[in-house]
Structure 1
Amino acid sequence: MELELSWLEAHHPIIVMLIALGPVVMATLHGAIRLYFDYKRQKLDYEREREKKE
């Protein structure tokens, strides 16, 4: 298995880098998606409250 990884690293270093950074990329995407949907929910709640007051 180590031979396969060293061959992959020698011939396709970008793939090895993407595999190593996979969890970081997924965590960043997860955080960005949560921020986006939290923003949308807060905006919708704010608009509903504003309509109730009017």
Structure 2
Amino acid sequence: MLQQTSTQQKVRALLLSGIRSAVLWRQVGGKRRHLVFGRKKMVEQAQILLARM
């Protein structure tokens, strides 16, 4: 599965976007505890955004 070029590109893009998100999170003052305690709210917001698509 990982030998397919399209799959490799998707995995690479997801990894890079995850790293970029972590950097941006830290730059705006995000902390690990905010992720832990704010997880439910973030999941709810993600579901709302996905429902709009």
Question: TM-score, normalised on structure 2?
Answer: 0.49
Larger Rg: 1
Structure with the higher fraction of residues in helix conformation:
1
